[in-house]
Protein backbone atom coordinates (compact mmCIF):
# COMPACT_ATOMS: atom_id res chain seq x y z
CA UNK A 1 0.00 0.00 0.00
CA UNK A 2 2.77 2.39 1.06
CA UNK A 3 4.88 1.37 -1.93
CA UNK A 4 1.98 2.00 -4.30
CA UNK A 5 1.28 5.38 -2.72
CA UNK A 6 4.94 6.31 -3.03
CA UNK A 7 5.12 5.25 -6.66
CA UNK A 8 2.06 7.35 -7.44
CA UNK A 9 3.61 10.37 -5.76
CA UNK A 10 7.08 9.80 -7.17
CA UNK A 11 6.75 12.25 -10.09
CA UNK A 12 5.68 15.01 -7.71
CA UNK A 13 8.49 14.16 -5.26
CA UNK A 14 11.03 14.17 -8.09
CA UNK A 15 9.72 17.51 -9.33
CA UNK A 16 10.08 19.08 -5.88
CA UNK A 17 13.58 17.63 -5.38
CA UNK A 18 14.66 18.88 -8.81
CA UNK A 19 13.33 22.36 -8.08
CA UNK A 20 15.11 22.41 -4.72
CA UNK A 21 18.40 21.30 -6.22
CA UNK A 22 18.25 23.87 -9.02
CA UNK A 23 17.26 26.78 -6.79
CA UNK A 24 20.45 27.29 -4.77
CA UNK A 25 22.70 26.37 -7.71
CA UNK A 26 21.09 28.94 -9.97
CA UNK A 27 21.43 31.50 -7.21
CA UNK A 28 25.20 31.12 -7.20
CA UNK A 29 25.80 30.89 -10.94
CA UNK A 30 27.98 33.72 -12.22
CA UNK A 31 26.66 35.31 -15.39
CA UNK A 32 29.59 37.73 -15.47
CA UNK A 33 32.71 35.70 -14.62
CA UNK A 34 35.11 38.13 -16.28
CA UNK A 35 33.51 41.31 -14.93
CA UNK A 36 33.49 44.33 -17.27
CA UNK A 37 33.90 42.44 -20.51
CA UNK A 38 31.30 39.82 -19.60
CA UNK A 39 28.68 42.55 -19.51
CA UNK A 40 29.98 45.15 -21.97
CA UNK A 41 29.50 43.13 -25.13
CA UNK A 42 27.23 45.10 -27.44
CA UNK A 43 28.74 46.47 -30.65
CA UNK A 44 26.19 49.27 -30.63
CA UNK A 45 26.54 52.40 -28.56
CA UNK A 46 22.94 52.25 -27.48
CA UNK A 47 20.62 49.34 -27.09
CA UNK A 48 19.62 46.59 -24.72
CA UNK A 49 23.08 45.37 -23.74
CA UNK A 50 25.95 47.39 -22.35
CA UNK A 51 28.27 48.64 -25.10
CA UNK A 52 31.77 47.29 -25.58
CA UNK A 53 34.29 49.30 -23.59
CA UNK A 54 36.45 50.33 -26.55
CA UNK A 55 33.37 51.88 -28.17
CA UNK A 56 32.42 53.69 -24.98
CA UNK A 57 35.97 55.00 -24.55
CA UNK A 58 36.08 56.25 -28.14
CA UNK A 59 32.73 57.98 -27.67
CA UNK A 60 34.06 59.99 -24.72
CA UNK A 61 37.36 60.84 -26.45
CA UNK A 62 39.53 58.62 -24.27
CA UNK A 63 43.19 58.62 -25.29
CA UNK A 64 44.49 55.73 -27.37
CA UNK A 65 46.36 54.31 -24.37
CA UNK A 66 43.44 51.92 -24.21
CA UNK A 67 44.82 50.18 -27.29
CA UNK A 68 47.71 48.81 -25.24
CA UNK A 69 45.41 47.47 -22.56
CA UNK A 70 44.92 43.74 -22.85
CA UNK A 71 43.40 42.69 -19.54
CA UNK A 72 40.38 44.62 -18.34
CA UNK A 73 40.28 46.31 -15.87
CA UNK A 74 43.79 45.42 -14.58
CA UNK A 75 45.54 47.17 -17.46
CA UNK A 76 43.49 50.34 -16.99
CA UNK A 77 45.22 50.81 -13.66
CA UNK A 78 48.48 51.77 -15.37
CA UNK A 79 47.02 55.28 -15.43
CA UNK A 80 43.96 54.89 -13.22
CA UNK A 81 45.99 53.67 -10.22
CA UNK A 82 43.89 52.54 -7.25
CA UNK A 83 45.94 54.62 -4.78
CA UNK A 84 45.12 57.87 -6.62
CA UNK A 85 48.80 58.24 -7.58
CA UNK A 86 48.28 57.55 -11.26
CA UNK A 87 47.93 60.13 -14.01
CA UNK A 88 44.15 59.67 -14.00
CA UNK A 89 41.39 59.22 -11.43
CA UNK A 90 41.47 55.96 -9.51
CA UNK A 91 39.53 53.47 -11.61
CA UNK A 92 37.39 52.09 -8.77
CA UNK A 93 36.02 55.50 -7.85
CA UNK A 94 35.42 56.42 -11.46
CA UNK A 95 33.59 53.21 -12.25
CA UNK A 96 31.49 53.41 -9.07
CA UNK A 97 30.34 56.92 -10.00
CA UNK A 98 29.47 55.83 -13.55
CA UNK A 99 27.48 52.83 -12.31
CA UNK A 100 25.71 54.36 -9.32
CA UNK A 101 25.18 58.10 -9.91
CA UNK A 102 21.60 59.06 -10.62
CA UNK A 103 20.07 56.50 -8.27
CA UNK A 104 17.22 54.41 -9.57
CA UNK A 105 17.52 56.01 -13.01
CA UNK A 106 21.05 54.71 -13.50
CA UNK A 107 20.99 51.85 -15.97
CA UNK A 108 23.18 49.64 -13.79
CA UNK A 109 20.70 50.00 -10.94
CA UNK A 110 17.60 49.95 -13.09
CA UNK A 111 18.47 46.98 -15.24
CA UNK A 112 21.14 45.13 -13.28
CA UNK A 113 19.96 45.97 -9.75
CA UNK A 114 23.32 47.49 -8.84
CA UNK A 115 24.67 44.08 -7.95
CA UNK A 116 28.30 44.43 -6.81
CA UNK A 117 28.96 40.76 -7.55
CA UNK A 118 28.66 41.39 -11.29
CA UNK A 119 32.00 43.25 -11.17
CA UNK A 120 33.54 42.00 -7.93
CA UNK A 121 34.15 38.62 -6.39
CA UNK A 122 35.11 37.47 -2.94
CA UNK A 123 38.62 36.00 -2.82
CA UNK A 124 38.10 33.20 -0.31
CA UNK A 125 41.84 32.79 0.30
CA UNK A 126 41.99 36.04 2.26
CA UNK A 127 38.32 37.15 2.18
CA UNK A 128 39.13 40.33 0.31
CA UNK A 129 36.86 41.69 -2.39
CA UNK A 130 38.59 41.99 -5.74
CA UNK A 131 37.57 43.21 -9.19
CA UNK A 132 36.95 40.43 -11.69
CA UNK A 133 39.00 40.66 -14.85
CA UNK A 134 39.40 39.17 -18.28
CA UNK A 135 41.02 39.66 -21.67
CA UNK A 136 39.54 42.46 -23.71
CA UNK A 137 36.83 41.56 -26.18
CA UNK A 138 37.85 43.89 -29.00
CA UNK A 139 40.56 44.15 -31.63
CA UNK A 140 43.66 46.28 -31.82
CA UNK A 141 42.25 49.68 -32.65
CA UNK A 142 40.10 51.55 -30.12
CA UNK A 143 36.72 52.33 -31.58
CA UNK A 144 36.86 49.77 -34.37
CA UNK A 145 34.93 46.54 -34.51
CA UNK A 146 36.87 43.26 -34.49
CA UNK B 1 -14.21 69.37 -11.99
CA UNK B 2 -10.88 71.22 -12.11
CA UNK B 3 -10.45 70.50 -8.42
CA UNK B 4 -10.93 66.77 -9.05
CA UNK B 5 -8.36 66.79 -11.86
CA UNK B 6 -5.94 68.63 -9.59
CA UNK B 7 -6.45 66.01 -6.85
CA UNK B 8 -6.00 63.23 -9.39
CA UNK B 9 -2.70 64.73 -10.63
CA UNK B 10 -1.55 65.12 -7.05
CA UNK B 11 -2.41 61.49 -6.30
CA UNK B 12 -0.49 60.34 -9.40
CA UNK B 13 2.54 62.47 -8.46
CA UNK B 14 2.55 61.13 -4.89
CA UNK B 15 2.21 57.58 -6.21
CA UNK B 16 5.12 58.01 -8.62
CA UNK B 17 7.29 59.51 -5.88
CA UNK B 18 6.44 56.59 -3.60
CA UNK B 19 7.39 54.08 -6.29
CA UNK B 20 10.67 55.93 -6.99
CA UNK B 21 11.38 56.03 -3.26
CA UNK B 22 10.78 52.31 -2.92
CA UNK B 23 13.14 51.61 -5.80
CA UNK B 24 16.05 53.16 -3.93
CA UNK B 25 14.88 52.43 -0.38
CA UNK B 26 17.54 51.07 1.92
CA UNK B 27 16.23 48.36 4.22
CA UNK B 28 19.46 48.35 6.20
CA UNK B 29 20.47 52.03 6.55
CA UNK B 30 22.59 51.41 9.65
CA UNK B 31 24.31 48.25 8.48
CA UNK B 32 24.98 45.62 11.16
CA UNK B 33 22.37 46.80 13.66
CA UNK B 34 19.69 47.22 10.99
CA UNK B 35 19.92 43.53 10.21
CA UNK B 36 21.02 41.94 13.47
CA UNK B 37 17.83 42.36 15.45
CA UNK B 38 15.41 40.27 17.38
CA UNK B 39 11.94 39.31 16.28
CA UNK B 40 9.32 37.46 18.25
CA UNK B 41 9.46 34.49 15.92
CA UNK B 42 13.20 34.08 15.58
CA UNK B 43 16.27 33.69 17.69
CA UNK B 44 18.07 36.73 19.05
CA UNK B 45 20.47 37.80 16.31
CA UNK B 46 21.52 41.02 18.02
CA UNK B 47 25.28 41.33 18.14
CA UNK B 48 25.50 41.40 21.93
CA UNK B 49 23.76 38.02 22.03
CA UNK B 50 25.99 36.55 19.33
CA UNK B 51 29.16 37.94 20.91
CA UNK B 52 28.18 36.69 24.37
CA UNK B 53 27.75 33.20 22.93
CA UNK B 54 31.40 33.14 21.85
CA UNK B 55 32.67 34.68 25.08
CA UNK B 56 33.63 38.04 23.59
CA UNK B 57 34.76 40.71 26.08
CA UNK B 58 34.09 44.45 26.26
CA UNK B 59 30.57 44.29 24.75
CA UNK B 60 29.30 46.89 27.24
CA UNK B 61 31.76 49.49 26.00
CA UNK B 62 30.34 49.45 22.48
CA UNK B 63 28.05 52.29 21.43
CA UNK B 64 28.39 52.71 17.67
CA UNK B 65 28.51 49.58 15.51
CA UNK B 66 30.83 48.67 13.84
CA UNK B 67 32.87 51.83 14.42
CA UNK B 68 33.53 51.08 18.07
CA UNK B 69 34.66 47.56 17.20
CA UNK B 70 37.60 49.33 15.59
CA UNK B 71 38.85 50.45 19.00
CA UNK B 72 40.36 46.99 19.44
CA UNK B 73 40.16 45.63 15.91
CA UNK B 74 42.43 48.39 14.62
CA UNK B 75 45.77 48.77 12.91
CA UNK B 76 46.43 47.52 9.40
CA UNK B 77 46.67 43.83 10.23
CA UNK B 78 43.93 43.79 12.86
CA UNK B 79 41.62 45.78 10.64
CA UNK B 80 42.25 43.47 7.73
CA UNK B 81 41.66 40.46 9.94
CA UNK B 82 38.40 41.94 11.25
CA UNK B 83 37.19 42.67 7.72
CA UNK B 84 38.24 39.21 6.56
CA UNK B 85 36.44 37.64 9.53
CA UNK B 86 33.20 39.50 8.82
CA UNK B 87 33.42 38.60 5.13
CA UNK B 88 34.09 34.96 5.95
CA UNK B 89 31.18 34.76 8.40
CA UNK B 90 28.83 36.19 5.78
CA UNK B 91 30.09 34.44 2.65
CA UNK B 92 31.55 31.08 3.68
CA UNK B 93 29.59 28.05 2.41
CA UNK B 94 27.27 30.23 0.30
CA UNK B 95 24.71 27.51 -0.32
CA UNK B 96 23.99 27.27 3.39
CA UNK B 97 24.97 30.71 4.64
CA UNK B 98 22.01 32.73 5.88
CA UNK B 99 23.43 35.95 4.49
CA UNK B 100 23.69 34.58 0.97
CA UNK B 101 20.58 32.40 0.97
CA UNK B 102 18.18 34.76 2.71
CA UNK B 103 19.71 38.18 2.08
CA UNK B 104 21.19 37.61 -1.35
CA UNK B 105 24.76 38.29 -0.17
CA UNK B 106 24.18 41.97 -1.01
CA UNK B 107 27.29 44.06 -0.30
CA UNK B 108 25.13 47.17 -0.03
CA UNK B 109 23.32 45.82 3.02
CA UNK B 110 26.50 46.57 5.01
CA UNK B 111 28.32 49.04 2.76
CA UNK B 112 27.23 52.38 1.36
CA UNK B 113 28.26 54.05 -1.85
CA UNK B 114 29.02 57.75 -2.16
CA UNK B 115 27.74 58.31 -5.67
CA UNK B 116 29.58 61.62 -6.05
CA UNK B 117 33.06 60.40 -5.07
CA UNK B 118 32.62 56.74 -5.91
CA UNK B 119 33.96 55.69 -2.54
CA UNK B 120 32.45 52.73 -0.72
CA UNK B 121 32.13 52.96 3.06
CA UNK B 122 30.83 50.95 5.99
CA UNK B 123 27.38 51.82 7.26
CA UNK B 124 27.09 52.26 11.01
CA UNK B 125 24.55 52.93 13.72
CA UNK B 126 24.01 52.97 17.49
CA UNK B 127 23.85 49.61 19.24
CA UNK B 128 20.37 48.08 19.53
CA UNK B 129 20.73 46.41 22.92
Instruction: Give me the interface pTM, i.e. the ipTM.
Output: 0.76
Mean pLDDT score across all residues of chain B: 85
pLDDT in tens, B35-73: 999 876 778 899 999 999 999 998 999 999 999 999 899
Q: Report chain A residues touching chain B, CB-CB < 8 A.
A: 24-25, 27-28, 92-97, 100-104, 109, 114-117, 120, 122, 124, 126-129
The pLDDT, as a whole number, for residue A143 is 52
Mutate which of B104, B112, B115 to disrupt the A interface (most A C-beta within 10 Å)?
Answer: B115
Residue B20: the pLDDT is: 43
Answer yes or no: do A109 and B24 touch at CB < 8 A.
yes
The dihedral formed by the CA atoms of B74, B76, B77 and B78, expressed in degrees to the nearest 10: 10
Name residues of chain A where pLDDT drops below 70: 1-28, 47-48, 140-146
Q: Choose the mutation target among B80, B82, B118, B121 for the interface with A, i.e. most A CBs under 10 Å.
A: B118
Pairing of strands A50-51, A40-42: parallel
CB atoms within 10 A of CB B118: 20
Among chain A residues, CA nearest to B21? A104
What's the pTM?
Answer: 0.76
Does the pLDDT of residue B17 top 50, yes or no?
no
Angstrom distance (rounded) from CA A85 to CA A143: 28
Those residues with Cβ within 8 angstroms of residue A121's Cβ, 6 or more apart along the chain or in another chain = A30, A129, A130, A132
Chain-chain contact of B118 with A95 (C-beta, under 8 angstroms): yes
Q: Which of A94, A104, A126 sits opposite B118 (nearest CB)?
A: A94
Task: Please give the distance of CA A8 from its chain centroid, rounded to a whole number.
Answer: 45
Sorted by where each begins, the domain ranges of chain B are: 30-126
Whole-number Cα distances in Å, B23 to A104, B15, B18: 6, 12, 9
Nearest to A101 among B24, B115, B119 (CB): B115
| B31 against A20, higher pLDDT | B31
With H, G, I as helix, E, B as strand and everything else as coil, classify residue A71. strand
Amino acid sequence: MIARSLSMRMPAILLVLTALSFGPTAGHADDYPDGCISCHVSEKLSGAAASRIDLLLASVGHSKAGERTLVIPDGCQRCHAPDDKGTATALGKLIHVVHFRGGAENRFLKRYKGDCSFCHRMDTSDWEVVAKSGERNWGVKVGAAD
Amino acid sequence: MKERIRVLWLAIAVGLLAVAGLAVADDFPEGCVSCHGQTSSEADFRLNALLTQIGHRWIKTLKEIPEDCGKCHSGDDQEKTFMAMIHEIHYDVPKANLFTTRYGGECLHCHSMNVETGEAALKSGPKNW
